[in-house]
Every structure is written in C-alpha cells, then in structure tokens.
Amino acid sequence: MAEVFSGNISILKLIDILKLLTSGNKTGVLNLQRGIEKGEIYLEKGVITHAICKAGVGEEAFFTLLTWLEGNFTFIPSVANEEKSIERDTSSILEEGIERLEEWDQIKEIIPSQDLVFKLSALRAPDEITIKHDEWLILSQLDGNRTVGEISEGLDIGEYDTARILYTLFLAGLIEVAKELKLKSKKTVDPGFFDFLEKKLTKIIGPVASFIVDEEIKDMGEEKENFSMEKASMLVEKISSEITNDNEKIEFQEIILGALREI
C-alpha cells in the first residue's frame, strides 16, 4: 500500500481499515474527518502508537474514533509521529475495540442516530434504583426536545458515553423515546460487484470461490440482489479468511475494498 488509501467509513468500517493496516505492518497516519470534526491515528510498522481527536488523546481518542459510523478517511504512508500516547499492545486494543463495537451495535438498536430525542418515562420507575452522577447529568438535559447529539455536545461527553448512559437509563425504564425517527432506506451493493469479487477470488483459490461467496452471504442473512452496503467490509473480511497466503490476502483485500469505494 505505497499510495494514499482513502474512502468513506460508512462503507469501510474503521476497525476493518485498521486490521488491514496493522496486518500489513504499515507506517503512516490515518486521517479521519466527519463534518468539521477531525481525528488522527498513527501507526508504526503495524503498531498503533498515537491517536488524537476532540475527545482527547491516546486510547480515549482511539475508542471514540472507532464509534464513528460516517465520515471520510485517508491513510498517508510513511508519516511518523514522535508522540506515543498508546502503549498497549495493538492486538489487545483492537480486541477491546471489537468488544466495544459489539456493545455499540446493541446500543444502536435503541439509539440508531444522534438525532433521536428522549424524555423522562411516564411510567413509574422502580422503587429501588441507584442513579450515578453522570446519569443524573444526562437526565437533567432531557426535555423532550434536545437530541442525543445536542446533549453530548452540551455536556462535553463523548457520543459513545452519552449513548451508553441513555441506553442504561432506557433499560431501567427511566426514559422513553420522545420523537421517532424516519427510517432511512438501506443502501445496497451493486450485484455486479459480486462478479468482480468472485473473479478475483477464483484466481487465488480456484472454482470453489463462487461457492464460498454464496455461503458467506447466506450465513450473514443477506442476498446478492439486496446486500447491505454496511455489511460489505465484513463480507470481505470473512471471505479473506479463506486465503492462506498473507500477501495474497492483503492484496485481495486492498483490491476489493478499493472496488467498494468506487460504488
């Protein structure tokens, strides 16, 4: 990956981009931008060494950036940084990142957008419940008009932490949704992409490629004709696991993810 690598994290998840860069022992900076917000993650020979964004530096910034669901990324190779704000082993921090994203997926079932609005529940709360200080802060902001994003910004609390607290309060029966969101139509992958995918995979592992692609799509509960763009990077990762040669695997991922960016 000698050239600049760029795309949109609504198509290619940040965790998958980082897996690709770390497994390829890359050195450089991953620049991220979502609206006016910016973030940076530095790598040195596949090791994550530094992260910075509005939320802070180090691991705090790293985990905050992982929760970004939209925005643009650009990886610029061979860019070094003297500051080392992340000392933990890269595999360890990636594993925790995956765990947090799994929790984030659960939270998104209740809070799918920062534009969602909550209010105090009209139902009677449990008789015995302990409310923490940060939960009281969030509760004090619920007026039936402020969005999750506005509360996060007003209290200067990260989106992940704000959503996690609201999720806890919702499960406890203390708050309820005040305004429902209009669901967005699902963005799907062009069926022609799968022809390209199978062609490239066949060159590496042979005619069994078509069977593997079909089985992985089926296991994900999807169909080629209506395959969710949000799951495209996950599909590439699953299929890549069938490639035993590391160099061929990385090259395959780069080609396929590059094709996704063009869709």
d(CA 154, CA 146): 10
Is there a single domain that holds both residue 37 and residue 80? yes
Instruction: Quote the pLDDT of residue 47.
Output: 96
Is there a single domain that holds both residue 125 and residue 171? yes
Domain ranges, residue 199? 192-262
In a domain, 163, yes or no: yes
Phi and psi, residue 31, nearest 5°: -90, 135
The predicted-structure confidence for 202-254, as pLDDT tens digits, reads as follows: 999 999 999 999 998 888 888 888 888 877 877 887 898 889 887 888 888 87
Name the pLDDT band for 181 (thresholds 50, 70, 90): low
Which of 81, 100, 119 represents a domain boundary (last residue)? 100
Is there a single domain that holds both residue 207 and residue 139? no
Residue owning tokens 């509005």: 54
Is residue 137 within 8 A of residue 168, CB to CB? The reply is no
Is there a single domain that holds both residue 9 and residue 78? yes
Is there a single domain that holds both residue 78 and residue 141? no
The predicted-structure confidence for 122-170, as pLDDT tens digits, reads as follows: 775 555 677 888 899 999 999 888 999 899 888 888 888 899 999 999 9
Instruction: Quote the pLDDT of residue 249.
Output: 84
Instruction: Quote the pLDDT of residue 256.
Output: 85
Q: Residue 164 belongs to a domain with what CATH number?
A: 1.10.10
Task: Say whether pTM exceeds 0.85.
Answer: no
Residue 2 has pLDDT above 60, yes or no: no
Which of 150, 179, 208 represents a domain boundary (last residue)? 179
In a domain, 184, yes or no: no
Mean pLDDT of 184-191: 71
In a domain, 226, yes or no: yes
Could you tell me where the DSSP H helices lie in 40-187?
A: 59-66, 90-110, 133-139, 148-155, 159-171
Is residue 2 within 8 A of residue 25, CB to CB? The reply is no
Residue 182 has pLDDT above 80, yes or no: no
Instruction: Quote the pLDDT of residue 1.
Output: 44
Is there a single domain that holds both residue 171 and residue 201? no
Is there a single domain that holds both residue 162 and residue 204? no
In a domain, 245, yes or no: yes
Considering its fold, how many domains does the chain have in total?
3
Mean pLDDT of 89-115: 90
Mean pLDDT of 113-119: 88
Name the pLDDT band for 61 (thresholds 50, 70, 90): very high
Mean pLDDT of 112-122: 86
The predicted-structure confidence for 16-59, as pLDDT tens digits, reads as follows: 899 999 999 999 999 999 878 899 999 999 999 999 998 889 99
Which of 179, 209, 229 represents a domain boundary (last residue)? 179
